Each structure stands twice: as structure tokens, then as C-alpha cells.
Amino acid sequence: MEILKVNGVEKSFKDKKVVDDLTFSVNTGEIMGMLGPNGAGKTTTIRMIMDIIEPDRGSISFSGNGHGARSKKSIGYLPEERGLYEDATTGDVLEYLGTLKGLKRQVARDRAMKWLQKMDLGEEVDAKISELSKGMAQKVQFIASIIHEPELAILDEPFAGLDPVNQDMFRGLIKELKEKGTTILLSSHRMNMVEELCERVFMINRGREVLYGKLAEIKKDFGKELVELTYSGDPEVISDTFGAHITDVELEEGSARFYIEKGYSPDRFIRELPAGIEIEEMSLRKPPLHDIFVAKARGGNYEQ
């Protein structure tokens, strides 16, 4: 079942079209990744979903009901541009924002304390937002986006500005939200996080769709196999042996990273490994999402 449907949406600012005929859906209970380089139109699309701005054309529906009070209260939104009341205390901010989403004051306060303790911020309940570190404020903003237990959480760059420890914490919290039934639309440049968390992804570039579907199928359709080697021997023997069958070759003393072109099977590659090198380690796998993202953002492997 679709919890969110975006159909043929377009948006222009002055004479520049920033979102061009986008259509995608988010299924109930999934974590869906939204990808794209800076300026691709991701945040504009999210703002249209949130009814902050109106599309010029197309439609957006939430559980088939369009926009409206019910849908807004059923959505949690973590914006890329953070904004909290700097002179208010952490507890008061979360209580207030919870009541705006329909919670009773005491329920909002109780949930705020529960989440603050869960995120190692229990002692900051009476601290002003202005006194918090950037990472702490990010945690508070995250709590504000999900304190009302939304059906759909839209998280725009949730890992930005976080150290590795807190990135891992957020990753675990997002998984936990999904397990408890929250549907998540996740926009992030952290490709490793998207790859781990999302089964499906939607990528846009210059306002247009360039990738949409299950991550496993996208990797398969990319049509290349990634090889990473650690070896002893002449570093040039790899290029000399495989020539036109490999691309994006990165050679260093004792290591190599490259792609096997489509049509040249991994089995054949292994059989034809030259005797002049001694393999110490080798991995052969589908391309990481990072490499597919870079190729698409640069205009590779799709029709413009």
C-alpha cells in the first residue's frame, strides 16, 4: 500500500524549472531513499510534499487523501535547514512542538524526556538550545520530528554534522522507527547509510528522475562488477592483461581497483588472471551505491 504518491509534479522559480515531471511513491512500512547531487531538486520536492510550497503541476497525495490537516499531523519532518527556538529550553521546545502536532502537554513532556534520555541528553532538558553543541541540537531537532509518532517521517540529511558515533546512533534509531511501523523517506548524501537502510531508492538530477526502484535491481542494471585487489607483482600487468575489458582503473603499488565491463564475466576474469602476480586479497562485487550515484550525477549511463 502506498502511503505517499507524487504524480507528475513540476516546479519552477522564475524561468528555471527545478522539478520536472517527477513521479514516485513511498510504500507503507519501508525506508525509501531519495538521492541527488546538490541543486537536484530534492529539498524543493520535499517542501511540496510538506505543502510548504505548491507545485505548478501534478499532484501529491498522502494515503489517497491529498494534503490537509490530517496528513500534516501524520507526517514528521526533519528539514535540512535546522531551526529551533534558541532562547527556549530543550524540554520546553519539544513540549511546545509536540502540542502543535496534537499531543497533550503532559504527553509531549513525557515523550520528550523519554527521547532525551534515549539520546544521552537527559541532563540537557533545562539547557537553552543556544547552549547545545551542533550535534546535540541535531538530536533535539530529530526528536521534534518524530515526537508525535508519525505514520511517515521525512528526514532530509539527518546525518549532516554528526560524528561517526552519533551517525551510528541515528542509523539505529531509523531502523527502530521502521520496526515500530513508521514509514521513512530518507534524503541523504551518506551513500553507505542509504545502502544499508533502504531497499528502494529514487534519484533525481537537474530536477528529473534518473533512477527509481529496488537497490539490488539498480546495481544489476548498472552492468559492471567492481574488483578490488591486493597483490604482489608488476602493477601494470593488470592493465596490460585486461585492456579494454576494465574501466575506472586505480592502480597503486600492491593494490588495484577497477570495473569489469558488461559482457566480460567474473568467471572469465578469474580464469585469465595473469601468473605474474600473486593475489593476497580479492573482492568481486556489485558496485557500491556511491559509485552509481557519482556516475549518474555526472551524466553517465543514462539518456538525458
Q: What percent of the chain has pLDDT over 90?
A: 53
Q: How far apart are CA 242 and CA 237, in angstroms?
A: 9
Q: What mean pLDDT, rounded, does the chain reach?
A: 88
Query: In this predicted structure, what is the pLDDT of residue 29?
Result: 94
> Could you write out the DSSP letters of every residue in 65-93?
S-SSHHHHHTEEEE-SS----TTSBHHHH
Is the pLDDT score of 274 beyond 70?
Answer: yes
Question: In this predicted model, what pLDDT tens digit does every residue of 40-50 receive, in sequence order?
Answer: 899 999 999 99
Residue 19, strand partner residues: 11
Q: How many CB atoms within 10 Å of residue 207?
A: 22
Query: In this predicted structure, what is the pLDDT of residue 71?
Result: 65
Among 108-112, 192-196, 257-261, 290-294, the range with the most confident prediction by mean pLDDT is: 108-112
Query: In this predicted structure, what is the pLDDT of residue 252?
Result: 81
Query: In this predicted structure, what is the pLDDT of residue 63?
Result: 79
> Mean of the pLDDT values across residues 146-164?
92
Query: In this predicted structure, what is the pLDDT of residue 109?
Result: 95
Task: Write the CA distances from 131 to 85, 114, 147, 167, 235, integer angstroms.
Answer: 12, 21, 22, 21, 54
Query: In this predicted structure, what is the pLDDT of residue 267?
Result: 84
Is the pLDDT score of 72 beyond 80?
Answer: no
Q: Please report the beta strands in the chain, taking only residues with DSSP state E, as ranges in sequence order.
A: 2-13, 16-27, 31-35, 57-62, 75-78, 152-156, 183-187, 200-205, 208-214, 225-233, 246-252, 255-260, 277-285
Question: In this predicted model, what pLDDT tens digit does every residue of 195-254 receive, in sequence order?
Answer: 999 999 999 988 999 899 999 999 888 888 898 989 887 767 777 888 888 888 888 888
The tally of CA atoms less than 13 A away on the side-chain side of residue 183 is: 18
Q: How far apart are CA 149 and CA 112, in angstroms?
A: 12
68 pLDDT tier (thresholds 50, 70, 90): low
Grid cell listed for 240: 596490460
66 pLDDT tier (thresholds 50, 70, 90): low
pTM of the model: 0.86
Is the pLDDT score of 192 beyond 50?
Answer: yes
Q: What percent of the chain has pLDDT over 70?
A: 95
Query: In this predicted structure, what is the pLDDT of residue 111?
Result: 96
> Mean of the pLDDT values across residues 87-101?
93
- Beta pairing, strands 246-252 & 255-260: antiparallel
- Beta pairing, strands 200-205 & 31-35: parallel
DSSP reduced 3-state for 9? strand
> Mean of the pLDDT values across residues 119-148?
93
Is the pLDDT score of 151 beyond 50?
Answer: yes
Least confident of 99-103, 139-143, 235-239, 245-249: 235-239
Query: In this predicted structure, what is the pLDDT of residue 67?
Result: 63
Query: In this predicted structure, what is the pLDDT of residue 131?
Result: 93
